[in-house]
Chain A
Amino acid sequence: MPGSATRNARRTERYLDGLVAADERRAAEIPVDTDMDPAIRVAARQLRAGLVRVHPSFRFEEALAARLAAAADRMKAGLPAELPPAAVAGGTLAAFRGTGAAADLGVVGAAAGESAATPSIGLSHSAATVVRGLTDVAARPRRPLIVGGVGVASAAISLGAVYVAWRHSHPTSGRMSRAVRAAHGRASHSGRRGSGVINEILGVVS
C-alpha cells in the first residue's frame, strides 16, 4: 500500500500528463482529481504557461549545422570529429627532420598516422602537411619552425611585397594606363620642362 506522499506524487503526475494531453488536443477542460491540492494545480498551470521552449537564433543554428557537417566529413575521412586544439589555436612549434632533432626538442609524439620522420610538438594536421611538403629540410641546420601566428603573418606580408614588385614590372595595357605611362615618361625625361609638358598634355598653349 503506497504512502500518502507516493499517492500525492502519482496524482500530480496524472494531472501533469492531463495538462500536456489537453494542450495537444486544444481542450480547455482537464480531468481533475478532487483530492489534489488546488494550489499545486495552479502552480502547474502557471509553470506550463510560463516555462516556454526557447529556440536559438537562425544564424547560430545554421553555423552549428555547418560545423557539424564539417565534423561529419572528418569522421567519414577517418579523422576525429573535433579538430585538435592546436589546429585552431595560435602558432605551434615543429621540428625539422634531422639527426637527433626530436630528442633535442623533447618530442611528445606525432599526430596520428604521421611518420617518425616529421616529429612535431603539438602539431596540427594542417601544419604537419606543410612540414611534410618540404623536401630539402634534411640538409638544413636543426632549427625549430614557427608555424602559424607571427610566421603566417610574416609570410603574407612577404607575398604582398612580391606581388607589388611584380605588378610594377608588368604594367597593364589599358588605354588609361598607357596615357599615364606616357605622361609619366615625358615628365621624367624632360624634368626641366615639367610645367611645359603638363601644359602640353592639358592642351594649353603657352
Chain B
Amino acid sequence: MSRPVLATSEEGARPARLDRDRGLVEAARRDPSSFDALYRKYLAQVYSYSYYELRDHHAAEDATERVFMQALAGLPRFEERVDAFIASRPVTAASGSASDMADISTFRVWLFRIARNVVANERRTDRRRPVSPLEDAIGLHAPDDVAETVAAREAGSAAWQAVARLPEDRRRAVILRFVDEMSTAEIASILGRSEGAVRVLLHRALRSVAEDLRRQLS
C-alpha cells in the first residue's frame, strides 16, 4: 500500500502518493532475482495487451517475453520519473474522478511503454501473419453454464469485432482502459498524450462501438 506524502504545488502543500511498486522495483534493482515478483504481478496484463493487439497466442508470448527481458535489462537505468501530471494527482476526489485516486505505478507505465513499442514493432514486421478472431480468448474464462457461455461468447465477439474496427489509437486506449483497467492518467502517459486527449479518444471510441453494435443488432 502506498503512503500518502505531502507534495508542494502552486496551491500549496497537498497529499500525493508514492509509487505503489517502489518497494518491488528497489528490491529488483538491488537483486535482479527479485524481478520475479514484478513479473508475476504484471504478466497477465502485458500478455493480455499483447494478445488483444496481435490476436495470436504465439505472437503475444513472443512479445511478452521481449517486454519482460527488456524491462529486466533496463531496470538498472530505470529512474522513477513521475510525470508532472501523475505526481500531482490528489488523494482526495475533490477535483477529480475516481481514477485520480488510484495508486499510480510508474513502473507499470514504464513497462507498458516498452510493451507498446514491442507490439508496434511486431505489428510492423509481421503484417503477413493471418490474424485469428479473438473469440477463443472469450472462451478461456467461460463459465460451466452453456447458456451463459454462449451469451458471453456472443457479447465478447460483438464487442471485439467493434473494437477491432477502431482506428489504432482508439483501440489501444480501449484495451488499456477495459482490459488492463488503467486510469486516464496512466493511459495518457503510456500513449504520450494529454489526459484530455485520452478522455476524448475513449469517448469517441465508445461512440463508434455503440454505432457498430447498433448496426450489428439491426
Contact = CB atoms under 8 A, between A and B. Distances in A.
B189 interface: no
A113 to B, nearest CB: 18
Which bucket holds chain A's interface residue count? Answer: 35 or more
B45 interface: yes
Interface stretch (A42-50, A88-96, A152-160): A42-50
Interface stretch (A63-71, A120-128, A185-193, A198-206): A63-71
Contacts of A14: 97-98
Contacts of A52: 137-138, 140-141, 156, 179
Interface string B163-187: 1000000000011011111001000
Contacts of A17: 97-99
Nearest to A20: B181
B44 A53 contact: yes
B137 A46 contact: no
A75 B74 CA distance: 11
Contacts of A43: 162, 206-207, 209-210, 213
Nearest to B199: A9
Contacts of A69: 33, 36
A40 B206 contact: yes
Nearest to A15: B206
Nearest to A53: B48
B202 interface: yes
B150 interface: no
Interface stretch (A54-62, A100-108, A134-142, A169-177): A54-62
A76 interface: yes
B2 to A, nearest CB: 17
Residue among B31, B69, B152, B211 facing the most chain A CB atoms (10 A cut-off): B69
Interface residues of B, number: 60
Nearest to A10: B199
A192 B162 CA distance: 89
B78 to A, nearest CB: 13
A9 B204 CA distance: 8
A47 B163 CA distance: 9
Contact of A68 (B36, B138, B181): B36
Nearest to B154: A50
Contacts of A56: 43-44, 47, 57, 60-61, 64
A33 interface: no
A50 B158 contact: yes
B69 A47 contact: no
Interface string A1-14: 00001101110111
B68 A64 contact: yes
Contacts of B6: none
A74 to B, nearest CB: 9
19 contacts: A8-B203, A16-B177, A16-B202, A49-B159, A50-B152, A51-B175, A52-B141, A53-B180, A64-B43, A65-B36, A67-B65, A68-B39, A71-B69, A71-B73, A72-B36, A73-B32, A75-B32, A76-B33, A81-B73
- 8 closest cross-chain pairs (CB), A and B: A50-B159, A72-B32, A50-B156, A81-B73, A43-B210, A9-B199, A17-B98, A39-B210
Given A12-B199, A47-B209, A56-B47, 18 more contacts: A6-B196, A13-B184, A13-B203, A37-B210, A40-B206, A40-B210, A46-B158, A47-B163, A50-B158, A51-B179, A52-B138, A53-B45, A53-B179, A54-B44, A54-B137, A55-B44, A68-B36, A68-B69
